Amino acid sequence: MESLSIIIPCYNEARTIRQLLQKVFDVPIPGWRKEIIIVDDASRDNTREILREYENRATILSQEKNSGKGSAVKRGLEAATGTYVLIQDADLEYEPADIPKLLSAIGEAKVVYGSRNLRPRERKGAWIPRLGVWFLTKLINVLWGLELTDVWTCYKLFPREASDDFVAGRFESELLFTASLARRGYKFAEVPISYHPREAIEGKKIRNLDGIKAIIVLIHDRLTHLFHA
């Protein structure tokens, strides 16, 4: 039987973590064994206390210092034992019911992303963040010769053997991961997913400044590998 490690980084998600975890526990994935790893990135609300309720159903890891989503994911990867790994945000923007769809796309492509842009008519509002993701996606496609539609999606499914390509950091870690996988010749597939965006007042962490930082980091990464090839 194949095994799937679902890594859930979280920071101050007390309002959503119980509902999200129940959805993850409940989603059926026939033929797969689920391993759930939750990494609390030094939450300042009562997220950590809530997570104690799930110690018998999941692996709970805690960061002593808030280090960013990428660092939390990296910590989870170090504990993962599944043949495949999936990143799942701790809010309710992404629907765990889409997980079987991602798994079914594994084939010649070993990396599967859930794209929010393959169902554009279902998306509303958040024009500035959407424009930023569109630009970053175009940038990565040009720099690394890909044809993706959504590079900053939460849902990234990949073989655990690719875990070393994931570097610690903040939100830019996921973009650098895509670049690294492209350099190594991994083939990508995308599937349409549901998406329910939330606002900063509701706890959304990513900011416009993160997008600007991501552009700089990606160009630096490309130039670094270009001149050291």
Residue with tokens 């509002």, as numbered in its chain: 125
Q: Partners of 141 in the beta sheet?
A: none
Mean pLDDT of 121-145: 78
Would strands 32-40 and 84-87 be described as parallel, antiparallel, or unpaired?
A: unpaired
Domains of the chain: 2-227 (3.90.550.10)
Q: Which residue, 90, 43, 36, 80, is CA-closest to 60?
A: 36
Q: Which residue, 118, 57, 110, is CA-closest to 85?
A: 110
Q: Does position 197 have pLDDT exceeding 70, yes or no?
A: yes
pLDDT in tens, 209-224: 767 887 888 888 888 8
What is d(CA 204, CA 197) in angstroms, rounded to the nearest whole number?
A: 9
Identify whether the C-beta of residue 211 lies closer than 8 Å to the C-beta of residue 128: no
Encoded tokens for 225: 């590998």
pLDDT in the model for residue 158: 98
Q: What are phi and psi of 123, to 5 degrees?
A: -95, 140
pLDDT in tens, 33-80: 999 999 999 999 999 999 999 999 999 999 999 999 999 999 999 999
What is d(CA 49, CA 178) in angstroms, rounded to the nearest whole number?
A: 33
The single-letter DSSP state of residue 26 is: H
